[in-house]
Structure 1
Protein backbone atom coordinates (compact mmCIF):
# COMPACT_ATOMS: atom_id res chain seq x y z
CA UNK A 1 0.00 0.00 0.00
CA UNK A 2 1.49 3.34 -0.97
CA UNK A 3 2.18 5.88 1.77
CA UNK A 4 -0.34 8.33 0.36
CA UNK A 5 -3.10 5.76 0.48
CA UNK A 6 -2.14 4.84 4.06
CA UNK A 7 -2.32 8.48 5.16
CA UNK A 8 -5.64 8.99 3.44
CA UNK A 9 -6.97 5.87 5.17
CA UNK A 10 -5.90 7.19 8.57
CA UNK A 11 -7.43 10.57 7.88
CA UNK A 12 -10.73 8.90 7.04
CA UNK A 13 -10.62 6.93 10.31
CA UNK A 14 -12.74 8.82 12.92
CA UNK A 15 -10.90 7.26 15.88
CA UNK A 16 -7.52 8.36 14.58
CA UNK A 17 -8.85 11.86 13.94
CA UNK A 18 -10.25 12.11 17.47
CA UNK A 19 -7.01 10.83 19.03
CA UNK A 20 -4.86 13.16 16.96
CA UNK A 21 -7.12 16.04 17.93
CA UNK A 22 -6.76 15.23 21.63
CA UNK A 23 -3.00 15.01 21.22
CA UNK A 24 -2.93 18.41 19.56
CA UNK A 25 -5.05 19.95 22.30
CA UNK A 26 -2.79 18.46 25.00
CA UNK A 27 0.38 19.65 23.30
CA UNK A 28 -1.06 23.13 22.87
CA UNK A 29 -2.10 23.26 26.53
CA UNK A 30 1.39 22.16 27.62
CA UNK A 31 2.99 24.86 25.49
CA UNK A 32 0.64 27.51 26.88
CA UNK A 33 1.38 26.38 30.43
CA UNK A 34 5.12 26.53 29.83
CA UNK A 35 4.81 29.98 28.27
CA UNK A 36 2.70 31.20 31.20
CA UNK A 37 5.22 29.92 33.75
CA UNK A 38 8.10 31.57 31.89
CA UNK A 39 6.17 34.84 31.64
CA UNK A 40 5.37 34.69 35.35
CA UNK A 41 9.04 34.16 36.22
CA UNK A 42 10.08 37.11 34.07
CA UNK A 43 7.33 39.27 35.56
CA UNK A 44 8.37 38.44 39.13
CA UNK A 45 12.01 39.09 38.27
CA UNK A 46 11.53 42.49 36.65
CA UNK A 47 8.25 43.91 37.98
CA UNK A 48 8.02 42.64 41.55
CA UNK A 49 10.20 43.21 44.61
CA UNK A 50 10.75 40.77 47.45
CA UNK A 51 12.21 41.19 50.93
CA UNK A 52 13.09 38.19 53.10
CA UNK A 53 13.80 38.69 56.80
CA UNK A 54 15.09 35.70 58.85
CA UNK A 55 14.23 35.26 62.51
CA UNK A 56 17.82 35.90 63.63
CA UNK A 57 17.76 39.41 62.20
CA UNK A 58 17.00 42.16 64.72
CA UNK A 59 14.40 43.70 62.44
CA UNK A 60 12.31 40.51 62.50
CA UNK A 61 10.31 41.42 65.62
CA UNK A 62 10.10 45.08 64.60
CA UNK A 63 8.55 44.03 61.31
CA UNK A 64 6.00 41.68 62.86
CA UNK A 65 4.81 44.25 65.40
CA UNK A 66 4.72 46.99 62.80
CA UNK A 67 2.59 44.84 60.49
CA UNK A 68 0.18 44.20 63.35
CA UNK A 69 -0.21 47.92 64.00
CA UNK A 70 -0.57 48.54 60.26
CA UNK A 71 -3.61 46.35 59.89
CA UNK A 72 -2.78 42.72 60.57
CA UNK A 73 -5.12 42.80 63.59
CA UNK A 74 -7.98 42.54 61.13
CA UNK A 75 -6.88 39.07 60.13
CA UNK A 76 -8.39 36.06 61.85
CA UNK A 77 -5.03 34.33 62.31
CA UNK A 78 -2.79 35.87 64.98
CA UNK A 79 -0.07 34.72 67.34
CA UNK A 80 0.61 36.12 70.80
CA UNK A 81 4.02 37.14 72.11
CA UNK A 82 4.37 37.76 75.86
CA UNK A 83 7.25 39.67 77.43
CA UNK A 84 8.14 40.44 81.05
CA UNK A 85 9.80 43.56 82.41
CA UNK A 86 11.04 43.83 86.00
CA UNK A 87 11.37 47.31 87.45
CA UNK A 88 13.84 48.48 90.10
CA UNK A 89 11.18 48.12 92.78
CA UNK A 90 10.80 44.43 91.97
CA UNK A 91 7.44 44.84 90.27
CA UNK A 92 7.09 42.62 87.21
CA UNK A 93 5.13 44.09 84.33
CA UNK A 94 3.65 41.71 81.78
CA UNK A 95 3.06 42.81 78.22
CA UNK A 96 1.73 40.89 75.26
CA UNK A 97 1.68 41.74 71.58
CA UNK A 98 -0.25 40.24 68.71
CA UNK A 99 1.74 39.33 65.63
CA UNK A 100 0.68 37.69 62.35
CA UNK A 101 0.58 33.91 62.59
CA UNK A 102 2.21 31.41 60.27
CA UNK A 103 0.73 31.70 56.80
CA UNK A 104 -0.05 34.33 54.19
CA UNK A 105 -1.36 37.81 54.96
CA UNK A 106 -2.11 40.92 52.93
CA UNK A 107 -1.99 44.56 53.96
CA UNK A 108 -1.82 47.90 52.23
CA UNK A 109 1.08 50.33 52.51
CA UNK A 110 0.22 53.63 50.89
CA UNK A 111 -1.14 52.68 47.48
CA UNK A 112 0.66 49.35 47.29
CA UNK A 113 -0.69 45.99 48.40
CA UNK A 114 1.93 43.80 50.05
CA UNK A 115 1.79 40.03 50.40
CA UNK A 116 3.35 38.74 53.62
CA UNK A 117 4.29 35.08 53.91
CA UNK A 118 5.52 33.88 57.30
CA UNK A 119 6.99 30.38 57.20
CA UNK A 120 8.35 28.06 59.91
CA UNK A 121 10.74 25.17 59.34
CA UNK A 122 9.88 22.37 61.75
CA UNK A 123 13.04 20.38 60.97
CA UNK A 124 15.43 23.34 61.26
CA UNK A 125 16.23 25.02 64.59
CA UNK A 126 17.78 28.36 65.35
CA UNK A 127 20.79 27.37 67.48
CA UNK A 128 20.98 30.83 69.01
CA UNK A 129 17.36 30.95 70.23
CA UNK A 130 16.52 27.24 70.32
CA UNK A 131 13.32 27.82 68.35
CA UNK A 132 12.19 26.64 64.90
CA UNK A 133 13.65 28.64 62.04
CA UNK A 134 11.25 31.28 60.73
CA UNK A 135 11.30 33.73 57.87
CA UNK A 136 9.04 36.55 56.74
CA UNK A 137 8.87 37.37 53.05
CA UNK A 138 7.29 40.56 51.72
CA UNK A 139 6.28 40.72 48.06
CA UNK A 140 4.90 43.76 46.25
CA UNK A 141 4.38 45.01 42.72
CA UNK A 142 6.74 47.61 41.32
CA UNK A 143 10.46 48.28 41.33
CA UNK A 144 10.71 50.82 44.16
CA UNK A 145 13.02 49.24 46.72
CA UNK A 146 12.93 52.36 48.89
CA UNK A 147 9.51 51.24 50.12
CA UNK A 148 11.13 48.39 52.06
CA UNK A 149 13.66 50.79 53.59
CA UNK A 150 10.79 53.00 54.75
CA UNK A 151 8.96 49.99 56.21
CA UNK A 152 12.03 48.91 58.20
CA UNK A 153 12.64 52.45 59.46
CA UNK A 154 9.02 52.80 60.53
CA UNK A 155 9.19 49.41 62.24
CA UNK A 156 12.30 50.48 64.17
CA UNK A 157 10.67 53.78 65.14
CA UNK A 158 7.50 51.98 66.24
CA UNK A 159 9.56 49.65 68.44
CA UNK A 160 11.38 52.56 70.07
CA UNK A 161 8.14 54.43 70.68
CA UNK A 162 6.65 51.40 72.45
CA UNK A 163 9.85 50.87 74.45
CA UNK A 164 10.49 54.38 75.73
CA UNK A 165 7.19 56.26 75.67
CA UNK A 166 3.95 56.17 77.61
CA UNK A 167 1.27 58.31 76.00
CA UNK A 168 -0.68 60.47 78.47
CA UNK A 169 -2.46 63.82 78.81
CA UNK A 170 -0.41 67.05 78.96
CA UNK A 171 0.75 68.50 82.26
CA UNK A 172 -2.05 70.00 84.29
CA UNK A 173 -4.62 67.54 82.96
CA UNK A 174 -5.79 69.83 80.15
CA UNK A 175 -6.29 68.28 76.72
CA UNK A 176 -4.16 69.54 73.88
CA UNK A 177 -4.18 69.21 70.13
CA UNK A 178 -1.17 66.89 70.16
CA UNK A 179 -0.10 64.00 72.32
CA UNK A 180 2.48 64.23 75.05
CA UNK A 181 4.88 61.42 75.85
CA UNK A 182 6.96 60.69 78.90
CA UNK A 183 9.76 58.17 79.12
CA UNK A 184 10.24 55.78 82.06
CA UNK A 185 11.86 57.49 85.03
CA UNK A 186 14.44 54.73 85.41
CA UNK A 187 16.26 55.90 82.26
CA UNK A 188 18.23 59.11 82.08
CA UNK A 189 17.87 61.64 79.33
CA UNK A 190 21.34 60.92 77.96
CA UNK A 191 20.47 57.24 77.49
CA UNK A 192 17.23 58.22 75.84
CA UNK A 193 19.01 60.48 73.38
CA UNK A 194 21.59 57.81 72.55
CA UNK A 195 19.16 54.98 71.92
CA UNK A 196 16.30 56.93 70.36
CA UNK A 197 17.63 59.58 67.98
CA UNK A 198 15.23 62.40 67.25
CA UNK A 199 14.87 62.35 63.47
CA UNK A 200 12.34 63.96 61.12
CA UNK A 201 9.34 61.92 60.09
CA UNK A 202 7.31 62.32 56.93
CA UNK A 203 3.66 63.19 57.30
CA UNK A 204 2.75 60.17 55.22
CA UNK A 205 4.11 57.69 57.77
CA UNK A 206 1.75 55.22 59.34
CA UNK A 207 2.08 56.74 62.80
CA UNK A 208 1.23 60.33 61.86
CA UNK A 209 2.75 61.50 65.14
CA UNK A 210 3.40 65.21 65.74
CA UNK A 211 7.06 66.24 66.07
CA UNK A 212 8.24 66.79 69.63
CA UNK A 213 10.68 68.83 71.69
CA UNK A 214 12.58 67.08 74.47
CA UNK A 215 13.15 69.30 77.52
CA UNK A 216 14.64 68.54 80.91
CA UNK A 217 12.52 69.27 83.96
CA UNK A 218 13.78 69.81 87.48
CA UNK A 219 14.23 66.05 87.60
CA UNK A 220 17.00 65.13 85.14
CA UNK A 221 15.66 61.61 84.89
CA UNK A 222 12.36 62.62 83.31
CA UNK A 223 12.25 64.06 79.79
CA UNK A 224 9.01 65.77 78.83
CA UNK A 225 7.97 65.92 75.18
CA UNK A 226 5.76 68.67 73.85
CA UNK A 227 4.38 69.54 70.44
CA UNK A 228 6.64 71.52 68.12
CA UNK A 229 6.33 72.47 64.46
CA UNK A 230 5.33 69.81 61.90
CA UNK A 231 8.53 69.77 59.89
CA UNK A 232 11.32 68.76 62.25
CA UNK A 233 12.28 67.65 65.73
CA UNK A 234 14.27 69.90 68.01
CA UNK A 235 16.07 68.90 71.18
CA UNK A 236 16.04 71.58 73.85
Structure 2
Protein backbone atom coordinates (compact mmCIF):
# COMPACT_ATOMS: atom_id res chain seq x y z
CA UNK A 1 0.00 0.00 0.00
CA UNK A 2 1.36 3.40 -0.98
CA UNK A 3 0.15 6.53 0.74
CA UNK A 4 0.05 9.98 -0.76
CA UNK A 5 -0.76 12.80 1.63
CA UNK A 6 -1.29 16.53 1.24
CA UNK A 7 0.19 17.14 4.69
CA UNK A 8 0.46 15.69 8.12
CA UNK A 9 2.61 13.87 10.59
CA UNK A 10 0.16 11.04 11.11
CA UNK A 11 0.26 9.77 7.56
CA UNK A 12 4.04 10.03 7.40
CA UNK A 13 4.41 7.98 10.55
CA UNK A 14 1.75 5.51 9.48
CA UNK A 15 3.43 5.01 6.11
CA UNK A 16 6.80 4.45 7.73
CA UNK A 17 5.41 1.86 10.09
CA UNK A 18 3.52 -0.04 7.40
CA UNK A 19 6.11 0.19 4.63
CA UNK A 20 7.64 -2.84 2.99
CA UNK A 21 6.26 -5.65 0.89
CA UNK A 22 4.79 -8.34 3.14
CA UNK A 23 5.86 -11.96 3.13
CA UNK A 24 2.79 -14.14 2.87
CA UNK A 25 2.43 -17.77 3.86
CA UNK A 26 0.64 -18.37 0.58
CA UNK A 27 3.91 -18.64 -1.38
CA UNK A 28 4.31 -22.13 0.06
CA UNK A 29 7.86 -21.64 1.31
CA UNK A 30 8.46 -22.60 4.94
CA UNK A 31 10.72 -20.25 6.87
CA UNK A 32 12.54 -21.11 10.05
CA UNK A 33 12.14 -18.53 12.80
CA UNK A 34 15.28 -17.35 14.51
CA UNK A 35 15.78 -18.02 18.21
CA UNK A 36 14.59 -14.57 19.26
CA UNK A 37 11.37 -14.77 17.24
CA UNK A 38 10.62 -18.16 18.79
CA UNK A 39 11.03 -16.60 22.23
CA UNK A 40 8.70 -13.75 21.26
CA UNK A 41 6.10 -16.30 20.17
CA UNK A 42 6.17 -17.65 23.71
CA UNK A 43 5.73 -14.14 25.10
CA UNK A 44 2.74 -13.51 22.82
CA UNK A 45 1.12 -16.79 23.87
CA UNK A 46 1.68 -16.09 27.57
CA UNK A 47 0.30 -12.54 27.33
CA UNK A 48 -2.67 -13.80 25.34
CA UNK A 49 -3.50 -16.26 28.12
CA UNK A 50 -2.87 -13.76 30.92
CA UNK A 51 -5.03 -10.97 29.52
CA UNK A 52 -7.39 -13.00 27.30
CA UNK A 53 -6.62 -11.22 24.06
CA UNK A 54 -6.07 -13.03 20.74
CA UNK A 55 -2.42 -13.93 20.25
CA UNK A 56 -2.80 -13.24 16.53
CA UNK A 57 -3.63 -9.61 17.28
CA UNK A 58 -0.51 -9.20 19.37
CA UNK A 59 1.61 -10.83 16.66
CA UNK A 60 0.10 -8.69 13.93
CA UNK A 61 0.31 -5.40 15.82
CA UNK A 62 3.98 -6.13 16.53
CA UNK A 63 4.47 -6.85 12.82
CA UNK A 64 2.72 -3.64 11.76
CA UNK A 65 4.63 -1.52 14.23
CA UNK A 66 8.16 -2.93 14.25
CA UNK A 67 8.38 -6.19 12.27
CA UNK A 68 9.07 -7.84 15.66
CA UNK A 69 12.13 -5.72 16.38
CA UNK A 70 12.36 -4.11 19.81
CA UNK A 71 12.72 -0.33 19.54
CA UNK A 72 14.90 1.30 22.19
CA UNK A 73 15.46 4.99 23.03
CA UNK A 74 18.69 6.32 21.61
CA UNK A 75 21.62 5.67 23.93
CA UNK A 76 19.86 2.96 25.93
CA UNK A 77 20.78 -0.20 24.04
CA UNK A 78 19.99 -3.43 25.86
CA UNK A 79 22.53 -5.97 27.06
CA UNK A 80 20.50 -9.18 26.92
CA UNK A 81 21.59 -10.20 23.44
CA UNK A 82 18.20 -9.68 21.82
CA UNK A 83 18.20 -7.56 18.65
CA UNK A 84 16.92 -4.03 18.92
CA UNK A 85 16.55 -0.85 16.89
CA UNK A 86 17.73 2.46 18.32
CA UNK A 87 15.19 5.26 17.83
CA UNK A 88 15.73 8.99 18.22
CA UNK A 89 12.90 11.01 19.80
CA UNK A 90 14.31 14.06 18.03
CA UNK A 91 14.40 12.45 14.60
CA UNK A 92 11.45 14.37 13.18
CA UNK A 93 8.63 11.92 13.91
CA UNK A 94 7.43 10.59 17.26
CA UNK A 95 9.16 7.23 17.80
CA UNK A 96 7.52 4.03 18.91
CA UNK A 97 8.99 1.87 21.66
CA UNK A 98 9.44 -1.82 22.24
CA UNK A 99 8.30 -4.58 19.94
CA UNK A 100 4.67 -3.41 20.25
CA UNK A 101 5.26 0.17 19.14
CA UNK A 102 4.10 2.01 22.26
CA UNK A 103 4.25 5.80 21.93
CA UNK A 104 4.74 8.71 24.27
CA UNK A 105 4.02 12.05 22.61
CA UNK A 106 1.40 14.74 22.14
CA UNK A 107 0.01 13.17 18.96
CA UNK A 108 -0.51 9.54 19.97
CA UNK A 109 -0.71 9.71 23.76
CA UNK A 110 1.38 8.10 26.49
CA UNK A 111 0.76 4.40 26.06
CA UNK A 112 3.97 3.25 27.86
CA UNK A 113 2.82 4.86 31.11
CA UNK A 114 -0.75 3.64 30.71
CA UNK A 115 0.32 0.10 29.87
CA UNK A 116 2.85 0.06 32.70
CA UNK A 117 0.17 1.04 35.17
CA UNK A 118 -2.05 -1.81 34.04
CA UNK A 119 0.66 -4.39 34.75
CA UNK A 120 2.14 -2.62 37.78
CA UNK A 121 5.52 -2.00 36.22
CA UNK A 122 7.59 1.13 35.70
CA UNK A 123 7.37 2.60 32.16
CA UNK A 124 11.14 2.11 31.81
CA UNK A 125 10.65 -1.65 32.10
CA UNK A 126 8.42 -1.62 29.02
CA UNK A 127 11.15 0.15 27.06
CA UNK A 128 13.94 -2.27 28.02
CA UNK A 129 12.13 -5.62 28.27
CA UNK A 130 10.44 -7.26 25.30
CA UNK A 131 8.38 -9.48 27.57
CA UNK A 132 7.15 -6.53 29.66
CA UNK A 133 6.43 -4.56 26.49
CA UNK A 134 4.23 -7.36 25.15
CA UNK A 135 2.48 -7.81 28.50
CA UNK A 136 1.79 -4.09 28.72
CA UNK A 137 0.45 -3.97 25.18
CA UNK A 138 -1.79 -6.98 25.84
CA UNK A 139 -3.15 -5.35 29.00
CA UNK A 140 -3.79 -2.14 27.08
CA UNK A 141 -5.58 -3.99 24.29
CA UNK A 142 -7.70 -5.84 26.85
CA UNK A 143 -8.54 -2.50 28.47
CA UNK A 144 -9.66 -1.08 25.13
CA UNK A 145 -11.55 -4.29 24.42
CA UNK A 146 -14.02 -3.48 27.21
CA UNK A 147 -14.34 -6.95 28.76
CA UNK A 148 -13.95 -8.86 25.52
CA UNK A 149 -11.98 -12.09 25.70
CA UNK A 150 -9.98 -14.08 23.22
CA UNK A 151 -13.08 -16.26 22.76
CA UNK A 152 -14.68 -13.34 20.87
CA UNK A 153 -14.41 -13.18 17.09
CA UNK A 154 -11.42 -11.22 15.83
CA UNK A 155 -13.79 -8.80 14.10
CA UNK A 156 -15.13 -7.76 17.51
CA UNK A 157 -11.70 -6.37 18.41
CA UNK A 158 -11.64 -3.76 15.63
CA UNK A 159 -12.39 -0.78 17.85
CA UNK A 160 -9.83 -1.90 20.43
CA UNK A 161 -7.14 -2.08 17.74
CA UNK A 162 -8.09 1.40 16.49
CA UNK A 163 -7.82 2.80 20.02
CA UNK A 164 -4.50 1.03 20.52
CA UNK A 165 -3.08 2.82 17.48
CA UNK A 166 -3.51 6.17 19.22
CA UNK A 167 -4.39 7.76 15.87
CA UNK A 168 -7.09 10.35 16.58
CA UNK A 169 -8.50 10.53 13.04
CA UNK A 170 -10.97 7.63 12.55
CA UNK A 171 -10.27 7.30 8.82
CA UNK A 172 -6.53 6.94 9.33
CA UNK A 173 -6.98 4.66 12.35
CA UNK A 174 -9.08 2.48 10.06
CA UNK A 175 -6.10 2.08 7.74
CA UNK A 176 -4.13 0.83 10.72
CA UNK A 177 -6.78 -1.74 11.65
CA UNK A 178 -6.97 -2.89 8.03
CA UNK A 179 -3.24 -3.63 7.93
CA UNK A 180 -3.43 -5.54 11.22
CA UNK A 181 -6.38 -7.70 10.17
CA UNK A 182 -5.16 -8.22 6.60
CA UNK A 183 -1.89 -9.62 7.95
CA UNK A 184 -3.84 -12.17 10.01
CA UNK A 185 -6.15 -13.10 7.14
CA UNK A 186 -3.27 -13.58 4.70
CA UNK A 187 -0.55 -14.70 7.10
CA UNK A 188 2.92 -13.25 7.32
CA UNK A 189 6.11 -15.24 7.67
CA UNK A 190 9.82 -14.52 7.71
CA UNK A 191 12.90 -15.35 9.71
CA UNK A 192 12.10 -12.67 12.30
CA UNK A 193 8.30 -12.90 12.53
CA UNK A 194 5.33 -15.17 11.96
CA UNK A 195 1.63 -14.33 12.07
CA UNK A 196 -0.60 -17.35 12.08
CA UNK A 197 -3.14 -17.28 9.29
CA UNK A 198 -6.71 -17.12 10.53
CA UNK A 199 -9.98 -16.21 8.86
CA UNK A 200 -11.15 -12.63 9.34
CA UNK A 201 -14.42 -11.43 7.81
CA UNK A 202 -13.05 -8.20 6.38
CA UNK A 203 -16.31 -7.30 4.66
CA UNK A 204 -18.11 -7.53 8.00
CA UNK A 205 -15.68 -5.03 9.48
CA UNK A 206 -15.46 -2.49 6.66
CA UNK A 207 -18.32 -3.10 4.24
CA UNK A 208 -17.85 -4.07 0.60
CA UNK A 209 -17.11 -0.64 -0.88
CA UNK A 210 -14.79 0.50 1.90
CA UNK A 211 -12.92 -2.80 1.79
CA UNK A 212 -12.26 -2.40 -1.93
CA UNK A 213 -10.89 1.05 -1.26
CA UNK A 214 -8.66 -0.07 1.61
CA UNK A 215 -7.33 -2.98 -0.45
CA UNK A 216 -6.40 -0.78 -3.42
CA UNK A 217 -2.68 -0.84 -4.36
CA UNK A 218 -2.49 2.94 -4.01
CA UNK A 219 -4.59 5.21 -1.83
CA UNK A 220 -4.64 8.90 -1.03
CA UNK A 221 -5.08 10.22 2.48
CA UNK A 222 -5.89 13.89 2.90
CA UNK A 223 -4.80 15.31 6.22
CA UNK A 224 -4.62 18.73 7.75
CA UNK A 225 -8.38 18.74 8.22
CA UNK A 226 -10.42 17.70 11.27
CA UNK A 227 -12.07 14.78 9.48
CA UNK A 228 -9.75 13.44 6.76
CA UNK A 229 -10.94 11.01 4.13
CA UNK A 230 -9.18 8.34 2.09
CA UNK A 231 -9.60 7.69 -1.59
CA UNK A 232 -8.22 5.33 -4.22
CA UNK A 233 -7.44 6.54 -7.76
CA UNK A 234 -9.88 4.94 -10.17
CA UNK A 235 -12.11 3.63 -7.37
CA UNK A 236 -15.84 4.02 -7.91
CA UNK A 237 -18.41 2.97 -5.35
CA UNK A 238 -21.64 1.42 -6.48
| TM-score normalized by the length of structure 2 | 0.25
More helix by share: 2
| TM-score normalized by the length of structure 1 | 0.25
More strand by share: 1
Q: Which has the higher contact order (CA 8 A, sep 6+)?
A: 2
Bigger radius of gyration among the two: 1
